Structure formats: structure tokens, C-alpha cells
Amino acid sequence: MGVALQEFLNINGIVRGLKSFNFSLYGQWFGYINILLCVALGIANLFHVNPVIAFGIVSIIQSFIILFVEVPFLLKICPLSDNFIAFIKHFQTNGFRCIFYIAMATVQWCSIILKATSLIVVAIGLTISAISYAVAYFKNQEFQNVSIIKNPTDDDFPREAVVREML
């Protein structure tokens, strides 16, 4: 007997975000997708027998950096250096996140020089995030950070199900 994943998702927040046409939210959601793409395709490209392996390793490292940029809560709970935390905190506006994603995408676009691989998908995903944050910046939209996971302090968080699972 398990708890359904839908009970923990903030469906109302996601729907409100889609209807708001706030491109910073779209950039954030593409950022979440980019985390998965960077890890999966970075690992997949470790099996090439040419220098594209370096870009696969960079892709995996990028996934962790994006994770800390897009999920700032992790900065509080993970033991990290003060320099890294200060670096990540620079990217709390649409403009700086756009620049961040442009830099990350440029690195992955350079992988094509060595060999055209699935890292092109990573480059496209990072470019989409950069474009989303750029549109939000030029439309003067406020940066929003909406969680797709429900907050445990919300009224509709499934408390009894969590206790039941623990027992």
C-alpha cells in the first residue's frame, strides 16, 4: 500500500503557473528537465571513444550546478563551500539566469565540433531555458520560484498517509 505521487505534487501551482504566462516559470521547469537530460545524456556519452567524453563529464557536472540553481533549498541542507553558495546566489534574477544558461548551452554546442552526439539535445534544452529567462527579462516579469512539490506545511499535504507509511 503506497502513497500516490499525485498527492505530493502541487498540481494547482503548476496549472496557475502555466496560465500566468510567466516565462521565468517556464525557464525553471525546463531547468528541471535539463537536470535529467544532462545526467542521462552525459552518462550516455561517456562510452564514446573520442574526446567527446569530456563534454559528457561536463554535462554531468552541469546537472548538479543547475540543480543547486533551480532548487535553492539544497544550498541550506547540503554541506557546500561559501564560495560556491555565493556563486549560485548570483543567479536569482531572470537576467543572470539567462546568461547562466547561455554559457552552459554554449559549452554543449561546442561538443558538436568533436562529434555530433546526443549532447545536442542537452544544448537545445539549455538554450530553451535561456530563451525563456530572456523573454521573462525583456518583458520585465518578476522572477518566480514555484515548487512542483507540495509544502509539508500546506493543509492538503497527506499527513496520515506519511505516518501510515512510516509505521
Tens of pLDDT, residues 44-102: 999 888 889 999 999 999 999 999 998 888 888 888 888 988 898 888 888 999 999 99
CA torsion, ordered 42, 43, 45, 46, to nearest 10 deg: 120
Higher pLDDT, 111 or 162: 111
- Would you mind telling me the total number of residues written for the chain in this entry? 167
The mean pLDDT of 109-130, rounded to a whole number, is: 93
The reported pTM is 0.79
pLDDT given at position 115: 87
Residue with cell 531555458: 129
Query: Considering the chain, what is the average pLDDT of its residues?
Result: 82
Phi (first) and psi of residue 100, to 5 degrees? -60, -50
Q: Residue 35 pLDDT > 70, yes or no?
A: yes
